[in-house]
């Protein structure tokens, strides 16, 4: 395996992004910008019932409305597509079944609902019309005969005996379940000096990129070629779904991902299959551009878990045992099965040396939108739980949280640390590299933790409540199974990189060019990187779960290295040079022993053409697939300083420090940008974002004035420091960094709030910490304090 | 989220606009700034037969000040009022207008539109109530003056008839040494206020309160003038204790908004907190020697 | 009703005429009738700012205006910021240099709001920048580099007097 040279020319530099030019001039091509002759617009007719039996759909009036080309129902689609029942990344490693009793039950999921609907927003029919305005007009004319049924909106009620069963195959509504056990948690809990029990509630949130979803499909009947454009994170996976469901040969399908306005989770959607099916049925290009109201209801949601946790510890704050029961309100379908909760179980112990763990998790079906892993993906939830517990333990034993953390962090000498369980991929969970105590210290130094207490005291005297909060996390990144890349030199002597990744703003056109540039010694500006198109490579993984720096980066590195070998082989023949003497230098191949002898890439390309008399194989292209041995563990420590106004119950985040450890840093500017964006997302989760259903199952936050994303005034400046422990698990030594920002931020912010309002100890166990929740928690804490009797002379909040 | 079909007219004169409203009545919607109406159309919550676009009616765009009265035309944009410092608009107006949404919204949104929409969090409602505002409403057959105190009759409901158009808002500046202030609290910068308070204080010798207006938005189901709180203030020497007493009286005047007791309790507390703060700021603004904290 | 009206407006310095239905939003007129797909739709309810354009020099949410309302007016979109020979506006340069964009979807609206800000406040503080851009949502950058970009552009603009964009 080729190892990165420690001295790199392009990797590690802040290269300005190559994709910027078209984006800053408004010439990006997003899904809504693609023009095709004869393109018709689709509007989905969606359920207004959380749960109902559908007796009939009358599309007659809609079909006669102005500009309508057709109205398709589930019955129409059944002619061309199978149901939508396949599970994502459904390969379940048998070790999870044998070790943890992992159970996943099947269910039937339609593309368009037919005889019943299981959630508000479930798509039932498609109006295809000349434009979206007319399609929406006609959609209102579809008449649905529905018999509303009681809706399950509470997962605990859904698990009760006698509760309605949503899917016949899942009696009791527990779709997926496992129990992880490490060590002997019961024994360790009994041995602990003290135990703390809490329930944590992380409410439902939405990935909500600024661009909504969109799909264009064009089926050319004469050649039976289907082209689908979709702002998907996984084009190859989408192609494989379409092939299976539409029963078309895989090679007859091309999935193209255009420029993409962000994406933070999602998966493959029934709408994508429906639009493709409509193209096949109608034999004309069709387009669905989702609007924001649709997206808030129908893009998959996330988080929405309860954690009933008990933690055992000694009087000096040493953690001994952790026992958690997780319930995930998983909505009407659960295509991601246990990804969220297994991530939570895998990351719950955080950076701490806890040898005894039990996590029991259940995904419960209800009449809501299903869940997907969204930025942070179970780790955010687990980190919130663990780090709030640390804070509570600190208060209980009378020590500073920083001290509790230092006491429990896995020391550098103990790395790599086998955590005694299997990861979701069936491999042993091992924290492969890092120095967590040094990371914490770096964060404490950067925020000025020691001086803060004096600042805090002064502020109190002036009537201001400031607080400081710490959170750390680990992140298993670079998930497999693989990623692919091809690197080629074309007839003009230019380098092109083809990659199976599917970036949504992470700068792959730049970063992957930097990786390739280091191997071939060509300036990155001259390297064209193409991604997100199934025509580029036969296999591709996509971009999600902080995987692309690891998988795409290394695939490009390996492919470029193979190409370099080919270049040297061919150049050696052409120049009649000893291959061992050939080096790549500024876009040329040079004979180090005879500097007069060299070839430009253009000359090489000519020489490498077939029929040019080479004994070596023709062509200047190499392909490589990187198969990560397992995930590699990145980590981070965050510290937030907040101000609380106890009367308004407002929280302002004033200062923020991130120490991020992601191994080799490919482009520092891009890594920091990912941290900034992740922290902003986490601040949103901490204080603002909440996707709500009422008791009857109606969705109540379907506008951007109800579902609140943080704006520029809600996010402070974020100082990012790098720590670097190159991963031993890949040639570049990289680890993922896309989600760390969103993983520790809710915990850091809420811990800071808890610190600001001491000596009051409000129960801050819920996200988001809205003003009403904070207000109520403070009032209850004051009540509890009064009951205990005031003892402190300090000014009380 | 495309609007449903509607007919559209863009009259050049007030008379033409009023004639359209007379003819179409509650099937017509007036398009002024569009910052509230266009979203309603996008969500298809409003389905007017016709939009009457009044943006061409230049006579509605003026601001005049004379005889202690400020007259603001219905088409005056929020941004104009926000930046109108040179014209000497009181602090309250500039502060309140500056907190309406975001810049792009303030560039288009209008005084008349805001009042007619009657959102419980409308900053112009606070301004109108704080200055004994009188709203001029015209129809094809008549013109009438509606006191702001009588204008906001329910949740998103005003006293306007379907065939009436707001043409202007008249604000009465109190005589003597006065000060004003506005503050609101929202989840994010620019969001609708959870609660907002406008205060106008007149202070005489020894800081005796000669004039008090306290208007609350956001916390109740309509913008509300807090008469009980005002009565607590008048005739007393201003100071933090008096401000507290006035804040306490808000409960008597506000029909609190909120889906549960915790939310209502929070809104009331926020309104009281802001009341203390704006009363202090208004006193400071008056240039008085009142102790301000 | 699908009554169509002629709309004649100045866009990015050129006179354009098109025919739109009365209910077509200005955003859709610009995107679909005039092909200016740099105007992005993020919410269609005026809450995200992605569709921001300059109308007679002032920022407006083009999803909250009807196309017919732009008759006789002047509009500048992101496509109108660079000079005809392709030289980028200092804000465009600064956004790239400071890594103030990731996916680029909020960027046109963000930059146009910044154009207005810098015209009115040539040297804004970071807090002023954040307040002025509070109506432009970004899910990728966390805003910090956007603030840095605008600060950088402000310095470039105050040190050289440029022409108004897209007149």
CB-based contacts of B241: which residues, under 8 Å, 6+ apart?
none
HSE-up (13 A, CA, CB side) for residue A693: 30
β-bridge partners, A693: A699
- Based on the domain organization, do B26 and B84 belong to the same domain? no
Domain count, chain B: 3
A246-285 residues touching C, CB cutoff 8 A: 259-262, 264
C-alpha separations of B268 from B124, B251, B257, C116 in Å: 20, 7, 9, 38
Q: Rounded distance, CA A177 to CA A191, Å?
A: 28
- Min Cα–Cα distance to chain A from C151, Å: 14
Contacts A212 to C, Cβ<8 Å: 41-42
Greater model confidence, A44 or C161: A44
Q: Which of B71, B211, B54 is nearest to B136 (CA)?
A: B71
Strand extents, DSSP E, A249-393? 253-256, 286-289, 301-313, 319-329, 357-364
The answer to whether the Cα torsion of C16, C20, C23, C24 is positive or negative is: negative
> Do B99 and B152 belong to one domain?
yes
% of chain A residues with pLDDT over 70: 97
Q: Are residues B33 and B136 in the same domain?
A: no
Q: Of C23, C113, C131, which has the smallest distance from its Cβ to B104's Cβ? A: C113
Give whole-number Cα distances, A667 to A267, A648, A670, A722, A731, in Å: 27, 42, 5, 12, 16
Pick A648's closest partner by Cβ from B1, B185, B189.
Answer: B185
The answer to the question of residue B207 being in a domain is yes
User: Between 3.40.50.970, 1.20.810.10, 1.10.150.120, 2.60.40.640, what CATH number should domain C90-158 receive?
Assistant: 1.10.150.120
Strand arrangement of the beta sheet that strand C14-21 belongs to? C14-21, C4-11, C74-76, C52-55, C58-61
Q: Looking at the partner chain, which of C21, C59, C68 has a beta carbon nearest the beta carbon of B104?
A: C59
Q: Give residues with Cβ within 8 angstroms of A797, minimum separation 6.
A: A465, A644, A646, A756, A757, A760, A778
Q: Which residues of B touch A137 (CB under 8 A)?
A: 4-5
Of B7, B35, B55, the CB nearest to C64: B35
Residue C1 has pLDDT above 80, yes or no: no
Residue B6 is predicted with a pLDDT of 98
Residue B290 lies in a domain: no
Q: In chain A, what percentage of residues exceed pLDDT 90?
A: 94
**Tokens 């990728």 belong to which residue?**
C140
Domain shared by B101 and B203, yes or no: no
For residue A710, the model assigns a pLDDT of: 98
Distance CA A497, CA A559 (A): 9
For the residues A661-677, what does the mean pLDDT come to?
97
Question: Is position B1 within any domain?
Answer: no
Interacting residues of B168 by C-beta distance below 8 A, sequence separation 6+: B60, B71, B72, B73, B74, B112, B135, B136
Tell whether the model's pLDDT for residue A2 goes beyond 80.
no
Contact between A241 and A86 under an 8 Å Cβ cutoff? The reply is yes
Answer yes or no: is pLDDT of A784 > 90: no
Q: Checking DSSP bridges between strand A214-220 and strand A225-230, what pairing results, if any? A: antiparallel
Q: In B, which residues are within 8 Å of C28 by CB distance?
A: 2
Confidence of residue A789 (pLDDT cuts 50, 70, 90): low
CB contacts, 8 Å: C63 with chain A:
none
Contact A639, A470 (CB under 8 A): yes
What's the rounded Cα separation, in Å, for the pair A629 and A624?
15
Residue of C nearest to B49 (CA): C1
A343 and A473 Cβ atoms separated by less than 8 Å: no
Q: What is the mean pLDDT of residues A489-506?
A: 96
Is the pLDDT at C166 greater than 60? The verdict is no
Closest CA to A544 of A299, A375, A301: A375
Backbone φ and ψ of C55, nearest 5°: -110, 115
> Do B170 and B136 meet the contact criterion of CB atoms below 8 Å apart?
yes
Q: Is residue B2 part of a domain?
A: no
From chain C residues 13-32, the ones with a CB under 8 A of any chain B CB are 21-23, 25, 28
- With an 8 Å Cβ cutoff, is A231 touching chain C? no
Closest chain A CA to residue B4: A137
pLDDT of B292 strictly over 70: no
Quick one: pLDDT at residue C16? 98
Cβ-defined contact of B192 to A705 (cutoff 8 Å): yes
Q: Is B87 on the interface with A (CB under 8 A)?
A: no
**Averaged pLDDT of chain A:** 95
Helix (H/G/I), strand (E/B), else coil: A767: strand
Q: Which domain holds residue B12?
A: 7-51
Sign of CA dihedral C95, C97, C98, C103: positive
Contact B43 A703 (CB under 8 A): yes
Q: Distance from CA of residue B210 to its chain's centroid?
A: 23
Q: How many angstroms separate the CA of residue B124 from the nearest CA in chain A?
A: 20
CATH code for the domain of B263: 3.30.390.50
Domain map (residue ranges) of chain C: 4-80, 90-158
Residue B191, chain A, CB below 8 Å: the answer is: yes
Q: Give the pLDDT band of residue A189 (cuts 50, 70, 90).
A: very high
Report if residue B85 sits inside a domain: yes
> CA angle, corner A481, sides to A91 and A429, nearest 5?
85
Beta-carbon pairs below 8 A across chains B and C: 93
List the CATH number of the domain containing B86.
Answer: 3.30.465.10
pLDDT in tens, C89-133: 999 999 999 999 999 999 999 999 999 999 999 999 999 999 999
C-chain residue closest to B99, CA distance: C131
- The per-residue pLDDT for A537 is 96
Q: Is B85 exposed, middle or buried (0-12, 13-18, 19+ CB in 10 A)?
A: exposed
**For the segment C58-82, what is each residue's pLDDT rounded down to a tens digit?**
999 999 999 999 999 999 999 999 9
Task: Name chain B's partners: 3 or more CB pairs within 8 A.
Answer: A, C
The beta-carbon neighbor of C45 closest among B1, B103, B108 is: B1
Spatial distance between the Cα atoms of B74 and B19, rounded to a whole number of angstroms: 18
Verify whether the Cβ–Cβ distance C46 to B39 is below 8 Å.
yes
Please check the confidence at residue C24 and state whether its pLDDT lies above 50: yes
Distance CA A135, CA A789 (A): 65
Interface test with C, best of B39, B104, B188 (most C CBs within 10 A): B104
Q: Which residues pair with A127 in a beta bridge?
A: A43, A71
Q: Which chains touch C (3 or more CB pairs under 8 A)?
A: A, B
**Beta-sheet strands, E only, within A174-317:** 174-182, 194-206, 214-220, 225-230, 253-256, 286-289, 301-313
Which of A710, A712, A772 is the closest to B266 by Cβ? Answer: A772
The answer to whether residue B108 is domain-embedded is yes
| Measured CA distances, A5 to A8, A323, A628, A731 (Å) | 7, 44, 20, 10
Looking at the structure, do residues B198 and B276 belong to the same domain, yes or no? yes
* Cβ contacts of C47 on chain A, cutoff 8 Å: 703-705
Give dist(CA A586, CA A364) in Å, integer.
58
Distance (Å) of CA A107 to CA A166, A170, A782, C53: 10, 7, 49, 48
Name the token pair of A7: 């001295």
Query: What percent of chain C has pLDDT above 90?
Result: 92
Which residue of A134, A136, A647 to mutate against B (max B Cβ within 10 Å)?
A: A647
> Is 3.30.1490.20 the CATH classification of the domain at C4-80?
no
Nearest to A376 by CA among A261, A476, A233: A476
Q: CB A8: neighbour CB atoms within 10 A?
A: 17
Q: Identify residues of B whose CB sits under 8 angstroms from chain C CBs.
A: 1-8, 10, 31, 34-35, 38-39, 41-43, 51, 53, 55, 79, 101-105, 107-108, 188-190
- Encode A661-693: b = buried (16+ Cβ within 10 Å), e = exposed: bbbbbbbebbbbbbbbbbbbbbbbbbbbbbbeb
| Nearest of A219, A304, A234, A293 to residue A269 by alpha carbon | A234
Does the predicted model carry a pTM greater than 0.95?
Answer: yes
**pLDDT at residue number C165:** 53
Give the residue extent of every domain in chain A: 20-27+480-626, 301-479+629-788
Instruction: Please name the member of C45, C60, C130 whose beta carbon is closest to the beta carbon of B104.
Output: C60
Q: What is the ipTM of this complex?
A: 0.96
B166 and B118 share one domain: yes
- Look at domain A20-27+480-626 and name its CATH class: alpha beta
pLDDT at A790 > cutoff 60: no
Tell whether omega for the bond before A373 is within 30 degrees of 0, i.e. cis. no
Q: What average pLDDT does the segment A340-361 reach?
A: 98
Q: Give all strands (DSSP E) within A617-709, no chain letters.
A: 621-626, 632-645, 650-661
Question: Touching check for C10 and chain B: CB below 8 Å?
Answer: no
The span from the CA of A52 to the CA of A57, in Å, is 13
pLDDT of residue A662: 97
Q: Per-residue pLDDT for B64 more than 80?
A: yes
Instruction: Assign domain A301-479+629-788 one CATH number from 3.40.50.2300, 3.30.365.10, 3.90.600.10, 3.90.79.10.
Output: 3.30.365.10
Q: Scanning every residue of chain C, which has its alpha carbon at the shortest distance from the alpha carbon of B34?
A: C64
Contacts with B2 from chain C: Cβ below 8 Å = 23, 25, 28, 44
């Amino acid at each position: 395996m080729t190892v990165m040279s420690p001295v790199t020319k392009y990797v590690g530099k802040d290269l300005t992004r190559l994709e910027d030019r078209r984006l800053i001039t408004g010439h990006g091509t997003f899904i809504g910008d693609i023009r095709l002759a004869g393109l018709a617009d689709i509007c989905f007719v969606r359920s207004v019932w959380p749960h109902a039996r559908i007796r009939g759909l009358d599309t007659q009036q809609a079909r006669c409305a102005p500009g309508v080309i057709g109205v398709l129902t589930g019955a129409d689609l059944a002619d061309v597509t199978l149901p939508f029942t396949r599970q994502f990344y459904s390969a379940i490693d048998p070790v999870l079944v044998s070790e943890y009793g992992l159970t996943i039950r099947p269910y039937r999921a339609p593309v368009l609902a037919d005889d019943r609907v299981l959630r508000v927003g479930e798509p039932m029919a498609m109006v295809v019309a000349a434009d979206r305005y007319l399609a929406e007009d006609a959609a209102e004319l579809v008449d649905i005969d529905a018999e509303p049924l009681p809706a399950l909106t509470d997962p605990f009620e859904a698990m009760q005996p006698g509760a309605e069963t949503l899917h016949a195959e899942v009696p009791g509504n527990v779709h997926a379940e496992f129990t992880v056990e490490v060590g002997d948690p019961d024994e360790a809990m009994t041995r602990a000096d003290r135990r703390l029990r809490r329930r944590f509630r992380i409410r439902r949130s939405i990935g909500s990129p600024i661009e909504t979803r969109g799909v264009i499909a064009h089926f050319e009947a004469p050649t039976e070629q289907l082209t689908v454009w979709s702002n998907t994170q996984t084009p190859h996976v989408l192609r494989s779904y379409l092939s299976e469901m539409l029963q078309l040969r895989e090679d007859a399908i091309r999935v193209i991902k255009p420029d993409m306005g962000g994406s933070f989770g999602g998966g493959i959607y029934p709408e994508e299959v429906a639009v493709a099916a409509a193209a096949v049925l109608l034999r004309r290009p069709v387009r669905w551009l989702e609007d924001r109201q649709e997206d808030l209801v129908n893009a998959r949601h996330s988080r929405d878990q309860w954690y009933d946790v008990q933690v055992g510890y000694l009087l000096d704050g040493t953690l001994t045992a952790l026992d958690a029961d997780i319930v995930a309100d998983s909505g009407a379908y659960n295509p991601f099965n246990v990804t969220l909760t297994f991530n939570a179980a895998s990351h719950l112990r955080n950076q701490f040396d806890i040898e005894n763990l039990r996590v029991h998790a259940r995904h419960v079906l209800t009449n809501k939108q299903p869940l997907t892993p969204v930025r942070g993906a179970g780790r955010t939830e687990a980190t919130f739980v663990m780090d709030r517990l640390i804070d509570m333990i600190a208060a209980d034993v009378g020590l500073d949280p920083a001290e509790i953390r230092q006491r429990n962090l896995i020391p550098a000498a103990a790395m790599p640390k086998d955590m005694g369980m299997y990861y979701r991929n069936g491999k042993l969970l091992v924290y492969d590299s890092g120095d967590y105590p040094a990371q914490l210290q770096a964060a404490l130094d950067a925020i000025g933790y020691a001086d803060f207490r004096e600042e805090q005291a002064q502020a109190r005297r002036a009537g201001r409540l400031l607080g400081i909060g710490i959170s750390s996390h680990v992140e298993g990144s670079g998930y497999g199974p693989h990623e692919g890349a091809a690197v080629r030199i074309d007839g003009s002597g230019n380098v092109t990189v083809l990659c199976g990744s599917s970036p949504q703003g992470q700068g792959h056109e730049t970063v992957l060019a930097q990786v390739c540039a280091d191997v071939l010694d060509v300036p990155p500006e001259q390297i064209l990187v193409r991604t997100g198109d199934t025509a580029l490579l036969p296999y591709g993984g996509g971009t999600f779960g902080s995987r692309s720096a690891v998988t795409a980066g290394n695939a490009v590195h390996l492919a470029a290295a193979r190409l370099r070998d080919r270049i040297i082989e061919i150049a050696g023949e052409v120049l009649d040079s000893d291959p061992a003497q050939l080096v790549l230098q500024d876009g040329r191949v040079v004979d180090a022993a005879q500097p007069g002898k060299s070839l430009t890439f253009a000359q090489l390309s000519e020489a490498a053409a077939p029929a040019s008399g080479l004994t070596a194989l023709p062509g200047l292209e190499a392909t490589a697939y990187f198969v990560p041995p397992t995930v590699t563990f990145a980590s981070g420590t965050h510290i937030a300083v907040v101000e609380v106004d106890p009367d308004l119950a407002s929280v302002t985040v004033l200062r923020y420090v991130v120490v991020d450890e992601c191994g080799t840093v490919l482009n520092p500017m891009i890594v920091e940008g990912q941290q900034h964006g992740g922290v902003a997302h986490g601040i949103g989760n901490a204080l603002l974002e909440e996707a709500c259903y009422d008791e009857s199952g109606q969705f109540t936050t379907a506008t951007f004035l109800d579902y609140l994303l943080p704006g520029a005034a809600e996010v402070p400046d974020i100082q990012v420091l790098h720590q670097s422990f190159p991963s031993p698990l890949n040639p570049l030594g990289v680890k993922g960094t896309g989600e760390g920002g969103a993983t520790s931020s809710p915990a850091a912010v809420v811990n800071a709030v808890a610190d600001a309002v001491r000596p009051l100890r409000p129960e801050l166990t819920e996200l988001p910490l809205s003003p009403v929740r904070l207000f109520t928690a403070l009032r209850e804490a004051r009540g509890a304090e009064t009951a205990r009797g005031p003892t402190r002379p300090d000014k009380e909040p | 989220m495309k609007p449903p079909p509607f007919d559209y007219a863009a009259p050049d004169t007030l008379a033409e606009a009023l004639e359209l409203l007379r003819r179409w009545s509650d099937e017509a919607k007036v398009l002024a700034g569009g910052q509230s109406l266009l979203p309603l159309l996008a969500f298809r919550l409003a389905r007017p037969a016709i939009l009457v676009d009044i943006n061409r009616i230049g006579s509605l765009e003026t601001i005049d000040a004379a005889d202690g009265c400020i007259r603001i035309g219905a088409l005056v944009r929020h941004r104009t009022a926000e930046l109108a410092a040179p014209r000497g608009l009181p602090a309250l107006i500039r502060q309140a207008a500056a907190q309406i949404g975001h810049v792009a919204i303030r560039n288009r949104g209008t005084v008349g539109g805001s009042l007619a929409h009657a959102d419980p969090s409308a900053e112009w409602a606070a301004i109108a109530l704080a200055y004994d505002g009188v709203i001029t409403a015209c129809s094809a057959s008549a013109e009438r003056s509606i006191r702001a105190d009588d204008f906001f009759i329910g949740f998103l409901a005003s006293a306007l008839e379907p065939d009436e158009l707001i043409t202007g808002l008249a604000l009465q500046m109190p005589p003597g040494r006065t000060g004003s202030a506005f503050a609101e609290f929202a989840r994010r910068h620019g969001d609708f206020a959870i609660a907002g308070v406008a205060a106008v204080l007149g202070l005489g010798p020894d800081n005796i309160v000669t004039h008090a207006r306290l208007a609350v938005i956001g916390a109740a189901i309509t913008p509300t003038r807090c008469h009980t709180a005002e009565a607590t203030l008048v005739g007393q020497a201003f100071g933090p204790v008096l401000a507290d007493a006035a804040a306490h009286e808000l409960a008597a005047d506000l029909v609190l908004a909120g889906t549960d007791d915790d939310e209502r309790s929070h809104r009331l507390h926020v309104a009281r907190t802001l009341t203390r703060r704006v009363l202090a700021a208004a006193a400071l603004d008056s240039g008085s020697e009142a102790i301000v904290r | 009703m699908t009554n169509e009206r002629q709309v004649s407006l100045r866009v990015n310095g050129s006179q354009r005429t098109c025919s739109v239905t009365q209910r077509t939003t200005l955003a859709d007129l610009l995107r679909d009738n005039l092909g200016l797909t740099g105007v992005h739709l993020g919410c269609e309810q005026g809450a995200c700012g992605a569709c921001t354009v300059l109308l007679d020099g002032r920022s407006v949410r083009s999803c909250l205006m009807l196309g017919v309302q732009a008759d006789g007016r002047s509009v500048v979109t992101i496509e109108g910021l660079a000079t005809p020979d392709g030289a980028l506006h200092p804000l465009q340069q600064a956004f790239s240099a400071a890594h103030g964009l990731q996916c680029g979807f909020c960027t046109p609206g963000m930059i146009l709001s910044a154009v207005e800000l810098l015209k009115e406040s040539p040297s804004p503080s970071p807090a002023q920048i954040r307040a002025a851009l509070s109506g432009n949502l970004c899910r990728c950058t966390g805003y910090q580099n956007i603030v840095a970009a605008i600060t950088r552009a402000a310095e470039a603009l105050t040190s050289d007097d440029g022409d108004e964009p897209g007149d």
